[in-house]
Structure 1
C-alpha cells in the first residue's frame, strides 16, 4: 500500500487486491467547519429538543433507519447530547450528536427516519450538534458517503478536506 497514490488507498477494490480485507466501510468524504465558516440552519417549523446520549429512543430511530445507516451514523457512540426532532405524534424522527475524538475533534453522526427525509431535518439537527461542538471548542467533522449527506454538510458550511476508507482485516 505504501507505493500507491493517495486516491488509490480509498478505493475498496485496490485495498482488497492488496490486503486480506473483510468488511469495508466507505469510501467517505471528510469535511470540517470552524466558527468562521459555519452556516447554522435557520429556525424553522421543526423544534429541536435534546436527549442524553444513549437514550433508548435513539435505538428506535436506528431501527427505523436500518442496520447499515444506523452503523454509519453511530448515534450509539455519541458523547454529546442528542439533538432531536419529533413528528406531530411525538415520535423521534431525526437526531444528531457527536463523539469527542482525540485532537479536540467532534465526529458528528446524523440520522433521519426514511419516511421523514427531504424535509431539512438532518440540517436542523446537524446544525444544533455542530453549534454545540463549536461552543465546546471542538472541531466538527462530518463523514459522508451519500450525496444527500454531503449536501447537508455543505449547506452548513463544512468543507471537504479528505477521504477515508475503513476496513476490517479478513
Structure 2
C-alpha cells in the first residue's frame, strides 16, 4: 500500500484502511485519524494539521472497470510479449526513472501488450495480479510518443485480458493524463490512495 516506513491510506466509498510502518505508531495514528471523516482521510493538508507529516506521495485515484462499462480501443499493431521481455526492459530504461517506477511495468505477472515503432517498443501495458482477483494495471508510453492514443490501445488490450481471466481491473493514477486514459476505457474512480512519511 505504501513505501517501506510510510503510513498508507486507501479510501474506497465510505470505508478506509490505514497501514502503519511500526506498532509504536499504530495507537497514535488510530487516535488522530478516528475523528476524521473518510472523505478527507486522503487530504494531505488535513493530515498535516494533525500529524507531523514529513513527505507525501499522492493522492492517487483508484478506478475500477466493470465489464459492462468497458470501452475497448482497437489497434491492430498491438503485439503480445512475455512479462519481463528484453523489449520491456529497454523501454523502462529509455524513460525517466520516476516514470519507470510509477508505471509498475517491471512487476507485471501478465503478458505485456506492446506497440512498436520500428524495432523499439514505445508503449506497453500489463497487470499484476493482486489478492481478491484484482488486475492492477501498469501502463507506460515513451514521452516522445505520448498523445497518440498508444496508452489507450495497450491498456485496452491488457484490461480485456484481465476481464477475460475473471479479474477486476484496477487503475491507480496520480497524473491527470493517466486518469483520462482510464476514464476513456470506462474505468470509474471509486477511491483514493495516499502515502505519508511521518517525521519525528
Specify if TM > 0.5.
Answer: yes
Q: Does 1:5 align with 2:34?
A: no
Q: Does 1:101 align with 2:130?
A: yes
Compared CA separation, residues 146 and 80, structure 1 to 2 (3 A) = same
Q: Does 1:112 align with 2:141?
A: yes
Pairs within 5 Å for 1:115-126: 115-126=144-155
Pairs within 5 Å for 1:139-158: 139-158=168-187
Shift of 1:14: 3.4
Count residues in correspondence. Answer: 167
| Structure 2 CA distance for aligned equivalents of residues 126 and 5 of structure 1 | 34
TM-score, length-scaled by structure 1: 0.89
| Structure 2 CA distance for aligned equivalents of residues 105 and 75 of structure 1 | 16
List structure 1 segments (4+ residues) > 6 angstroms apart after TM superposition.
none
Pairs within 5 Å for 1:55-94: 55-87=85-117, 89-94=118-123
Pairs within 5 Å for 1:45-64: 47-64=77-94
Compared CA separation, residues 60 and 2, structure 1 to 2 (3 A) = farther
TM-score, length-scaled by structure 2: 0.77
1:101-126 CA-partner distances (Å, limit 9, x unpaired): 11100000100000000000000000
Do 1:64 and 1:114's aligned partners in 2 also have CA atoms closer than 8 Å?
Answer: no
| Structure 2 CA distance for aligned equivalents of residues 169 and 51 of structure 1 | 41
2:66 to 31, 34, 41: 34
1:37-61 CA-partner distances (Å, limit 9, x unpaired): 11100335xx111121122322222
Give me the CA root mean square deviation. Answer: 1.8
Shift of 1:147: 1.2
| Structure 1 CA distance for aligned equivalents of residues 85 and 46 of structure 2 | 39
| Structure 2 CA distance for aligned equivalents of residues 9 and 59 of structure 1 | 37
Compared CA separation, residues 34 and 66, structure 1 to 2 (3 A) = same
